[in-house]
Chains A and B, each alone.
Chain A
Amino acid sequence: QITLKESGPTLVKPTQTLTLTCTFSGFSLTTSGVGVGWIRQSPGKALEWLALIYWDDDKIYGPSLKDRLTITKDTSKNQVLLTMTNLQPVDTATYYCAHFFGDYNSARRFDYWGQGTLVTVSS
């Protein structure tokens, strides 16, 4: 059974750096074709893909925030971390991590999601 759970601060001040942790079980991030991604959703808005890290440590970032994001993995702890710099109120959102699968383009999708964690950016 694959599960993922996000953790991190719920309240961050403007200009601060946010680090979120995704702790997962039921799969290994050393298996070919597997990745973990981060997606966020501002209140009442659509899903926005942020970043993706693959089993081979390849990292891909979404175009809108890539200069502010860093994604890393710790396979020994079954964790993926997302760091976002210079938080602003517009970054207030629910942040999800999700298991990503697809060893060819047409199959690449998020098939298991964490419950999400709400991060509020406010002074």
Chain B
Amino acid sequence: SYVLTQPPSVSVAPGRTATISCGGSNIGDKGVHWYQQKPGQAPVLVVFSDSDRPSGISERFSGSNSGDTATLTISHVEAGDEADYYCQVWDSNSVSVVFGGGTKLTVL
């Protein structure tokens, strides 16, 4: 089955840029979606299809995807961005939804 690998944690100072990676074999051939989950809340879609943003999501959230790595970038990080972030793809080989293990973003 397809595996997505995320770093367990990322730390960033306020105002700086955070990058969260999501690794997978030839992930660049798939569409990657990113979810933000704050403590005690349901996940929220923040980036879909590699780099598109749903309505209402800040322009500070952006994404890219190439080769074996997809990346979520959060610019001008704020305290309110502190959350767990999950990447997700659709694996057509196994006909299944695949989530990464999640990355905890800490704002210093």
Q: Do A and B form a real pair?
A: yes
A residues sitting closer than 8 Å to B (CB atoms) are 37, 39, 46-49, 52, 60, 62-63, 96, 102, 105-116
Residue B54 is within 8 A (CB to CB) of chain A in the complex? yes
Mark out the residues of chain B between 51 and 108 whose CB falls within 8 Å of any chain A CB in the assembled complex.
Answer: 54, 86, 88, 90, 92, 94-102
**Given A49-B96, A60-B96, CB of A110 within 8 Å of CB of B88:** yes
**Given A47-B43, A47-B86, A114-B42, CB of A108 within 8 Å of CB of B97:** yes
Inter-chain contacts of A47 with B (CB < 8 A): 35, 37, 43, 86, 88, 99, 102
Inter-chain contacts of A63 with B (CB < 8 A): 1, 94, 96
**Given A63-B1, A63-B94, CB of A46 within 8 Å of CB of B43:** no
Sample 18 A-B pairs with CB under 8 A, ordered by A number: A39-B99, A46-B99, A46-B101, A46-B102, A47-B86, A49-B97, A49-B99, A52-B97, A62-B96, A63-B94, A106-B31, A106-B90, A107-B48, A108-B31, A109-B31, A109-B90, A110-B33, A111-B48
- Taking the nearest CB of chain A, how far is it from the CB of B40, in angstroms? 9
Report the separation of the CA atoms of residues A96 and B99 in the bound assembly, to the nearest whole angstrom. Answer: 14
Q: Size band of the B side of the interface?
A: 20 to 34
Mark out the residues of chain B between 10 and 59 whose CB falls within 8 Å of any chain A CB in the assembled complex.
Answer: 30-31, 33, 35, 37, 42-45, 48-50, 54
- Taking the nearest CB of chain A, how far is it from the CB of B30, in angstroms? 6
Report the separation of the CA atoms of residues A25 and B30 in the bound assembly, to the nearest whole angstrom. Answer: 30
Report the separation of the CA atoms of residues A7 and B48 in the bound assembly, to the nearest whole angstrom. Answer: 28
Report the separation of the CA atoms of residues A46 and B6 in the bound assembly, to the nearest whole angstrom. Answer: 11
